[in-house]
Structure 1
Amino acid sequence: MRLPTPYRPEAEVVAHRLAALSGALEWAVASAPARPWVQAVRDNPPPFWAMESLLREYPISSAEGLALMRLAEALLRVPDAETAIALTADQLGRADFDGMDETGAAQVLGRSTLAKLSSSAIALSKKFLPDAEAPQGLLTKLGAKTVVAATVRAVQLLGRQFVLGQTIGDAMDEADAARKKQAQLTYSYDMLGEGARTDADALNYLQSYKNAIEAIAARADKTGATEKNDGISIKLSALHPRYEWTQRERVLAELVPRVWSLCEQAARANINLTIDAEEVDRLELSLDVFEALAALVAQHQPQWRGFGLAMQAYQTRALELIEHIASIGRKYKLRLMCRLVKGAYWDSEIKRAQELGLPHYPVFTHKHHTDVSYLACAKALLDAPDAIYPQFATHNAATIAAILSLAAKSGNPFELQRLHGMGEGVYREVLKNPLIGCRVYAPVGKHRDLLAYLVRRLLENGANSSFVHQLADESVGMEEILVSPLRLEPESAFVLPPKLFGAGRKNSAGLDLEVATQRAALQTAFDNLTVPSVPEFDAKQAASAYATSATSYKIWSKAPVAERAALLRQSADALEHQMPRFCAILVKEAFKTWGDAVSEVREAVDFLRFYADEAERIMAPVALPGPTGETNELRLSARGVWVCISPWNFPLAIFMGQVAAALATGNTVLAKPAEQTPFVALEAVRLLHSVGVPEAAVQLLHGPGETVGAALVALPGIAGVVFTGSTPVARTINRALAAKDGPIVPLIAETGGINAMLVDSTALPEQVVDAVVQSAFRSAGQRCSALRLLCVHEAIADHVIEMVQGAAKELVLGNTAEWATDVGPVIDKEAFDGIQKHIQRLHSTAKPLLAQSAPARAAANLIAPQAFELKQVSDVAQEIFGPVLHIVRWSGDPQAVIEQINALGYGLTLGIQTRIDSRAHALAAAAHIGNVYINRNIIGAVVGVQPFGGEGLSGTGPKAGGPHYLYRFCAEQTLTVNTTAAGGNAALLASMP
């Protein structure tokens, strides 16, 4: 049994869930017990530090709440005092503080909630926290900076509320103390840590899990019921650095043995081990791993009843997932412990679906739809006692009451669960019934390691629609807080991804390559594809091609703009329909990875639709003001025949973007594609012709730049040239155009860059490494926007560099036709030889950081990712168009680093990684850079969202995919009509008093 597609209409799925609950719940009766629980919590609120109280005091929608969240995420990991001061001042300065001291740290002058938080921290810190728990030496260095020191204490205290203990021993002692008050509590310990980026990280997490299981085992009952013992929760992505569907075979070979060693250890101890839920795109892989482990349990530890999995009710496939897990339990004759949660990655799943252009969301967009799914899943879990022991994790009093009602009807065993530090008020009331068991999901680890976990919990429970938030908000009435979720909303709460850009422009449709059926269509197209040679154009025929284009221009330019736009939109639809074929061509001819190929086809589709819309917008006449008796109008018109010269690194998207821009504005095109990738350009032109674009309006002229390109640029009468490629070639074209007699011909040039990323010590290293590896090595570094220079603060440089080294070694090099490949070959032997010369030079002038080499016989012209440490920014002399990263350490003023980057003369892309908001915006303003990205990678600009283009040595502008691009393809004309020429202003005279 395989799961259905995650991208189904939400209403259709919810209707099915409601049908599954039909007759099982009478909401008014089932939820009635929750009423006194809620009232009791409101009458006797939990302590100041509990989640409910925190959200009441610092709602995340407020400046104070946001500052608290940002400080909790970053402050404890900042190793240098200066940056800690800057971060604290930046965040607290956004809240209700009244002034600043001479160091820039916010003063506690007002009665703001964060002022009270800081003063509370000062008062409580001596009692609860020894100085040793502060970041090493930080409090000593900040002795006079009272607010910063107090805020550090406050964040540490906050960590104590959500982390049971900093070591497993401490956590178990806390758990034993809690059981003296509530005997029915059990615990599932979670050793804090996010996904591994390196194999060393994964092995460290593995050892941490082993140590924890050993400690839990020492206090476990070896002969009693497994569910009565404490247990452990593990994260598969923490145990393998490439826990992705593309690496399935490797994951099964390497990860399964690691997890099995933990399972064996847990089985011998008679404790439970639960695999935590992860993102939607990992679900199928998680099931493969889970079933492989279930088979091993059945073979070697069949008596063990503690193996389990967490399931997220917010996924549209949650109910089918339960059915699948139950079938695994029955197949292997196991009873599995299944934890049902609402879900932890909702916002990122929404964003991913939008970015990929998927037809629907894989998660519910209405909060009460998730609640409906949760209840339907709860019923399914309770109805499978032969295969499943249900564990219901929720803080929602009404949901708890409904579960108790369902469980009473089924008569089957179960347990409730809550997060440590959350929901304590509600469970204080629920557990007054001694027959109800509750397991506490308890994070364990250093306070500085709680960052991602804590912020995720704050965001989840602080959302306005969450029960925890509503419980804390006494303005929400009892009827509202306990309202029935058993209702259907016919529409998604958010616009669906295809309509992301509004009614005017349809978003390009994408593929989720994690779905096997979608991969199959691409593979079939690849298997059936032959890339023929494309005849070269005779440069001597350039004048004839121009004459044909000029004749066509007289007709095409007179066509209504709406007609031209309609043809471009039809071309977009046709290209979208033929996505598998064009992806296959890009993989085979341009050595694209499959993911990059899909993205490029989508970008080409976006260009066609965006420029169609833009042409209709800008080419409508604009009425201008003037004196009576006169009309004034500004009009745009086409210029003539354009030469479009496109590169091999985006042979479809940039080619189609250039051509579409010229055609949309009424120009005709002589298109010269890169000599390495002519077939994809030929197919693109054929597609345009097939929908009705005249053959003479866009002609493909394939051949070397030195002959064909030069001949086209030299043609008299050319109206303009649009070029994407290297800076030296752009200079050559510019000189050739300037040397010609006749009109001054516009040149739109987009060239490369020594693109940099500046990282300060507040940045999260894991996020930095993800952004660096994607930006520097994806597409074999052959993007104009690719990262060439990483400037990292000296306080975290060693750690970041070590992680980059480890993550780069995990990349798979080889033939891009293989789904597992991350880095394919560079475009040809000439590029390969040129990059190798640069690498040899760097080995003698810089410190090499990556010793790896490309695997033998994997693919021709393959270059493994390379990284070198240099002493200063100015040592990066030129752009290397390949997978080569330069790294420089910095200290002091980050503005000085931006000045050094500006001095390089390029200005295409810049990344800034910092949690100091004011710093990020100040650095962006100081940078002479076309595209600045904060706290993300620096590649993958989206048409109409991130218009792309640079300045200085990186191009002329205007930005491709932006609202100003089409103007350069147009001439302007002002038309003034004297309406009084016939003898007087009739309109004015008619209105005389």
Structure 2
Amino acid sequence: MNQVPFSLSPRRAADRLPSPYRDEATVLQDLLSRLPASLSWPAAMDTARPWVAAVRESPAPFWAMESLLRDYPISSAEGLALMRLAEALLRVPDAATAIALTADQLGKADFGTPAASHHKVISGLSSSVIALSKRFLPDHDHEGGLFKRLGAQTVVAATVRAIQLMGRQFVLGRQIREALSEADGARKVQPQLRYSYDMLGEGARTEADARRYLASYHDAIEHIAKAGVRGAGPEGSDGISIKLSALFSRYEDAQRERVGDTLLPRVWSLMERAAAADINLTIDAEECDRLELSLDVFEALATRAAPRFPQWRGFGLAVQAYQTRARHVIDEVARIARTNGQRFMVRLVKGAYWDGEIKRAQELGLPAYPVYTHKHHTDISYLACAGALIDHADVIYPQFATHNAGTIAAIQSMAKARGATYEMQRLHGMGEGVYREVLKDAGVPVRVYAPVGEHRDLLAYLVRRLLENGANSSFVHQLTDESVPVDTLLASPLHPAAVPGLPLPVALYGFDGTSGRRNPQGADLAVTAERAVYEQAVDAAVVESVPEAPVGGIAATMTRLHGGFTAWNATPLADRAAVLRRAADALEQRQPEFCGLLVREAHKTLGDCISEVREAIDFCRYYADQAEATLASRALPGPTGESNTLHLHGRGVFVCISPWNFPLAIFAGQVVAALVAGNTVAAKPAEQTPAVAARFVALLHEAGVPADALVLQHGEGHTVGAALVAHPLVAGVCFTGSTAVAKAINRALAAKDGPIVPLIAETGGINAMVVDSTALPEQVVDAVVQSAFRSAGQRCSALRLLCVHEGIADGVIEMIAGALQELSVGDPSQLSTDVGPVIDAEAHANIAREVTRLEGSARVIGRAPVGLDVTGHVIAPVAFEVAKVSDLSAEIFGPVLHVVRWSGDADAVIREVNQLGYGLTLGLQTRIDSRALRLAAEARIGNVYVNRNMIGAVVGVQPFGGEGLSGTGPKAGGPHYLFRFCAEQTVTINTAAAGGNAALLAGTSH
């Protein structure tokens, strides 16, 4: 491979595109104002009506997507079951799990009566084999008798064949040779067809993945070139589509330097061969947070290509119309083309990953969505982008990928008015009916986007296409539904909705401007302007020295807090809640400042810091809401002539002892919970991180907490902490930390004379993730890397023990080893750093000692590289394979993962995990829904996460806390937490004492 030296241009002072988080209505008004005057939607409807009528009179072949969705819409139980089976069944290596998965999914649906009978193969299978499965398959995923097992295997085999058959309809060939042969056959019927082959490259997780995808792309280009399907240059030839994240596992903005060093030469090697063969090469679109980076990569490659291949016009990229910046992307691509004297191919698509973009914006608390929230808003954007492509036709060859008849007709009209050349595109296996009619006009070239790959590799692609095109509102779904009138199907999209289709991320928890909890604002560090604010805050951060509280002064402090309790407890509940809300607002305004301090004092990466500050804000708002909703006095029922009222009030002085791993969020959560319940607080932060605690205490005082209601007590645990716990005036202790210290606190409280003092403790855990053979290995490895190594493994919820089914263990373990090699370990103030140092020298020594022990007793799976220039208390993330679950007896609080293989009964694995005695977090990775629910019910564990990572519990969404050796409960950030900080009082008044029951008598006649 020709390794040409490359480097990306330095980071820009400002992004080339506007913010992705703009007001949707404003963006749409701008787009509508830019629509070409030649666009007449009524005229487009007139053109499209005959196409729709012809498709309905002569439906697409039974294997087409339209027919599949007609028979089994994804909104139905049958459609969902089919989708789940298509996504998972072909990759399951063992018969027992395949039987369990098939039984689980088919048991939820009635495949014997499809909505229509056109889909002959699937319907035939449904009415015979799938329907019979309910008699042969076990009721759950345990093995049945011999007869049932034989019957079940037969049904599973038939279902596998059906899924393979379905897959063949949407993937052109298993290898490029087969795909080229299939394309030649199709061209005998429709000679004007062109193809863009997609080698089904999902995002790489390892360097081995990336090299395999690179070899696959090279092989495809060689075969396409040899096939000699030539038109007038690359525009008339077949070509290839590539996915940048398949060529480099760390294709992301934070790894910009590595993208330049590693990815650019790989893409260049593909471009050289494509240009030499005069075929086209298109870069597929990816998620919003990579868009600016994609343009930087595209420009770097285009600039290099301009003098070397001046006649080649086959380089291009895809643009997703559902992104609110799509129109600007087209203008930017045109600018690059004009600057370099080039002409590019641009494929305009509606877009993939919509649901992922929505969820990311909600989770990060972003100001708006980077995509449109109404489908027809995306249609407006598509038409505006189409007009822009046609306007730039001197430097762009427009390629319109759509299956919407109305959109196709509108494009034809706009292009004809400008005399622009263009092509239409469709997905293989989709849109065949509409394009059968479009192709009757010989002047309209059509290119088929054709996936190529083995059946098991098509799973993610196929399910994504089903989801995108199977929604009830989609044109593809409604096309063959004759209950939908043609004019309804072709109705103009050019009318923006008055309100967004989804509440903004700020309103995720019901906030409407006056009520409900506001989702804390976050930041997208891929946006230059937002990132700069936080980087400046890190540079400006100063870790102030915090004086230690003298042990001899603790008695006076406790007396002061005890004296302040009466007034604070008597403060109206609404006023105490208002203080918390003011504190939340102030913290939100000062978020960069606190993030900078967290980076400097706690050695956290910037992304982790933003999440932590948002969690602290959330605690303040959530507990304020919960206090008003649950702690107010309330009347209780009783006999006539008396009143009964339940009152809750503070207990007195609470001692809150928090850890260094979340020095703001956990510290804040404990303190504000105690305060809003009416207690005064002696707050002892971890000795390693007092500065951020001191700054938050100052913020609370500014928000209205009296000085004698909250006092910071910085010092070592065995001195200051012990003295606080032992003081006679302590009315409660809230602690987060190790199990050993929690037990010591519990013993100290029990040994004291006087009242029985409650302890709220959240402690550690040997947190496990159980993975069966239906899980998607790439998703598993993503979850493992995040859960085990993010925050240097210094989270209570971090993954410590991975239990993988033996059927997929080799592949998962190999992928974990490769993923470890791609981690960046070092200075947490650098955006590129994935894993920073552990908290201090003592923690480093303890973890290093355990790693050395494991090196002598377990097999090293992989270890992240650490550069010679890295300083500080860094532990390289590492994974070991151990023999059995019981080999773990204690938690290693750092980036150390243990992996165990299992076979047989998943329930037995859960029993082994339960026997460890810890009960904090558990991950389950399985596509068998009934298994996930059953294992979760069997687990004696506080937080169970299915098919996702195990960290990042959100206040009010995933209340956090464990049982057994992992804590006392109740869960932090949950609806029961505040009650533990309260004492209860019931007041009963005999209202009839003074002469009788007047109220009763007043309503009684004699």
TM-score, structure 1 as length reference: 0.96
* Matching residue of 1:292: 300
Shift of 1:352: 0.4
Separation (CA, whole Å) in 1 of partners of 2:159 and 2:106: 9
Separation (CA, whole Å) in 2 of partners of 1:252 and 1:333: 23
Are 2:459 and 1:451 equivalent residues in the alignment?
A: yes
Secondary structure in structure 1 of the residue aligned to 2:735? strand
1:711 to 719, 723, 731: 723
CA contact (8 A) 1:778 1:822 kept: yes
For 1:195, the aligned partner's letter is G
1:569 to 557, 581, 584: 581
For 1:11, the aligned partner's letter is A
Are 2:165 and 1:157 equivalent residues in the alignment?
A: yes
* Matching residue of 2:73: 59
Structure 2 CA distance for partners of 1:414 and 1:898, relative to 1, 3 Å? same
* Matching residue of 1:698: 710
Cα shift readout 1:630-659 (whole Å, capped 9, x = no counterpart) = 111211111111000000000000000000
For 1:180, the aligned partner's letter is K
Separation (CA, whole Å) in 2 of partners of 1:717 and 1:242: 55
Once the two structures are superposed, the pairs formed by residues 211-222 of structure 1 within 5 Å of their partners are 211-220=219-228
Once the two structures are superposed, the pairs formed by residues 699-848 of structure 1 within 5 Å of their partners are 699-848=711-860
Shift of 1:116: 3.5
Secondary structure in structure 1 of the residue aligned to 2:46? coil
2:524 to 484, 494, 512: 512
The number of residues matched between the two structures is: 965
Shift of 1:113: 11
CA contact (8 A) 1:750 1:956 kept: yes
Structure 1 range deviating more: 356-365 or 294-303: 294-303
Structure 2 CA distance for partners of 1:974 and 1:121, relative to 1, 3 Å? closer
For 2:470, the aligned partner's letter is G
Shift of 1:114: 7.0
* Matching residue of 2:432: 424
* Matching residue of 2:140: none
Cα shift readout 1:469-497 (whole Å, capped 9, x = no counterpart) = 11132211112101000012232111110
Structure 1 range deviating more: 298-307 or 668-677: 298-307
Structure 2 CA distance for partners of 1:964 and 1:725, relative to 1, 3 Å? same
Cα shift readout 1:216-256 (whole Å, capped 9, x = no counterpart) = 00123678321110000000000001011110111011100
Separation (CA, whole Å) in 1 of partners of 2:190 and 2:230: 22
Cα shift readout 1:13-37 (whole Å, capped 9, x = no counterpart) = 0011111116332211122111111
Secondary structure in structure 2 of the residue aligned to 1:981? coil
Cα shift readout 1:796-824 (whole Å, capped 9, x = no counterpart) = 00000000000011000001011100010
* Matching residue of 1:354: 362
Separation (CA, whole Å) in 2 of partners of 1:972 and 1:144: 58
Shift of 1:992: 1.4
Secondary structure in structure 2 of the residue aligned to 1:527? helix
Separation (CA, whole Å) in 2 of partners of 1:669 and 1:478: 68
Secondary structure in structure 2 of the residue aligned to 1:33? helix
Long gaps (5+) in structure 2 = 1-14, 114-118, 132-148
* Matching residue of 1:556: 568
CA contact (8 A) 2:111 2:130 kept: no
For 2:37, the aligned partner's letter is G
Separation (CA, whole Å) in 1 of partners of 2:49 and 2:230: 40
* Matching residue of 1:524: 536
Separation (CA, whole Å) in 2 of partners of 1:966 and 1:768: 36
Separation (CA, whole Å) in 2 of partners of 1:304 and 1:231: 13
Percent identity, aligned pairs only, is: 68
* Matching residue of 1:990: 1002
* Matching residue of 1:134: none
Secondary structure in structure 1 of the residue aligned to 2:492? coil
* Matching residue of 2:9: none
Cα shift readout 1:501-550 (whole Å, capped 9, x = no counterpart) = 00311001000010011111111112122212211110111110011111
Separation (CA, whole Å) in 1 of partners of 2:604 and 2:974: 25
2:381 to 373, 378, 383: 373
CA contact (8 A) 1:209 1:234 kept: yes
Separation (CA, whole Å) in 2 of partners of 1:401 and 1:143: 52
* Matching residue of 2:332: 324
1:7 to 21, 42, 49: 21
Once the two structures are superposed, the pairs formed by residues 832-981 of structure 1 within 5 Å of their partners are 832-852=844-864, 854-981=866-993
Once the two structures are superposed, the pairs formed by residues 58-137 of structure 1 within 5 Å of their partners are 58-96=72-110, 116-118=124-126
Are 2:601 and 1:589 equivalent residues in the alignment?
A: yes
CA contact (8 A) 1:220 1:271 kept: no
CA contact (8 A) 1:222 1:269 kept: no
CA contact (8 A) 2:405 2:434 kept: yes
* Matching residue of 1:273: 281
Structure 2 CA distance for partners of 1:120 and 1:283, relative to 1, 3 Å? farther
For 1:439, the aligned partner's letter is R
Shift of 1:121: 8.3
2:666 to 649, 654, 657: 654
Once the two structures are superposed, the pairs formed by residues 464-479 of structure 1 within 5 Å of their partners are 464-479=472-487
* Matching residue of 1:460: 468
Shift of 1:665: 0.8
Structure 2 CA distance for partners of 1:548 and 1:144, relative to 1, 3 Å? closer
Are 2:276 and 1:264 equivalent residues in the alignment?
A: no
* Matching residue of 2:48: 34
TM-score, structure 2 as length reference: 0.94
* Matching residue of 2:394: 386
Separation (CA, whole Å) in 2 of partners of 1:623 and 1:25: 66
Separation (CA, whole Å) in 2 of partners of 1:460 and 1:222: 32
The RMSD of aligned alpha carbons is 1.6
For 1:767, the aligned partner's letter is Q
For 1:819, the aligned partner's letter is L
Secondary structure in structure 1 of the residue aligned to 2:74? coil
Cα shift readout 1:249-290 (whole Å, capped 9, x = no counterpart) = 110111001000000100000100000000001111111110
Secondary structure in structure 1 of the residue aligned to 2:570? coil
Once the two structures are superposed, the pairs formed by residues 431-450 of structure 1 within 5 Å of their partners are 431-450=439-458
CA contact (8 A) 1:81 1:142 kept: no
Separation (CA, whole Å) in 2 of partners of 1:736 and 1:485: 70
Cα shift readout 1:725-761 (whole Å, capped 9, x = no counterpart) = 0000000100000000011000000001000000000
Separation (CA, whole Å) in 1 of partners of 2:586 and 2:69: 51
* Matching residue of 1:104: none
Secondary structure in structure 1 of the residue aligned to 2:448? strand
Are 2:39 and 1:25 equivalent residues in the alignment?
A: yes
Separation (CA, whole Å) in 2 of partners of 1:323 and 1:655: 49
Secondary structure in structure 2 of the residue aligned to 1:180? helix
CA contact (8 A) 1:221 1:270 kept: no
2:320 to 301, 307, 312: 312
Structure 2 CA distance for partners of 1:112 and 1:190, relative to 1, 3 Å? closer
Are 2:290 and 1:282 equivalent residues in the alignment?
A: yes
For 1:878, the aligned partner's letter is A
Separation (CA, whole Å) in 1 of partners of 2:85 and 2:646: 53
For 1:15, the aligned partner's letter is Q
Separation (CA, whole Å) in 2 of partners of 1:781 and 1:190: 38
* Matching residue of 2:4: none
Shift of 1:119: 5.7
For 1:209, the aligned partner's letter is Y
* Matching residue of 2:144: none
CA contact (8 A) 1:72 1:455 kept: yes
Shift of 1:765: 0.2
Secondary structure in structure 2 of the residue aligned to 1:792? strand
Separation (CA, whole Å) in 2 of partners of 1:426 and 1:296: 40
Secondary structure in structure 2 of the residue aligned to 1:473? coil
Secondary structure in structure 1 of the residue aligned to 2:768? strand
For 2:353, the aligned partner's letter is Y
CA contact (8 A) 1:618 1:636 kept: no
Separation (CA, whole Å) in 1 of partners of 2:693 and 2:475: 55
Secondary structure in structure 2 of the residue aligned to 1:868? strand
CA contact (8 A) 2:823 2:865 kept: no
CA contact (8 A) 2:38 2:413 kept: no
Separation (CA, whole Å) in 2 of partners of 1:120 and 1:237: 42
For 2:566, the aligned partner's letter is K
For 2:105, the aligned partner's letter is Q
